[in-house]
Amino acid sequence: MMKLEDSLLAFSIADKLVGDKEYDVDPARVLELAQSSGCTAYDCEFVSLAEKLSVSLVTADKRLVSAFPAIAISLPDFATS
């Protein structure tokens, strides 16, 4: 188990590395995707972000690949593409 001071240091380092590399997603879009697909809102945040960035979502989640074939790609398919 990490000591509190080690945890705080690790968090501080991670925060500096991530810094301005965070992205916001549109909550309404996330909920639309979740409602239309039956996937969780948590998973749909990644779908929404992939849409926003115009990139593929590489995932091991077969349900996401099935629900979002235009944007989600499985790990094996990605590895062979």
Inform me whether the pLDDT recorded for 81 exceeds 90.
Answer: no
Both tokens of residue 11? Answer: 């968090």
H helices within the chain, ranges in order?
A: 4-18, 27-37, 41-53, 62-67, 75-80
Domain boundary assignment for the chain: 25-80
**Residue for token pair 């039956």:** 38
**pLDDT tens per residue, range 2-13:** 899 999 999 999
> Is the whole-model pTM more than 0.85?
no
pLDDT tens, 17-33?
A: 888 888 999 999 999 99
pLDDT in tens, 44-80: 999 999 999 999 999 999 999 999 999 999 999 999 9
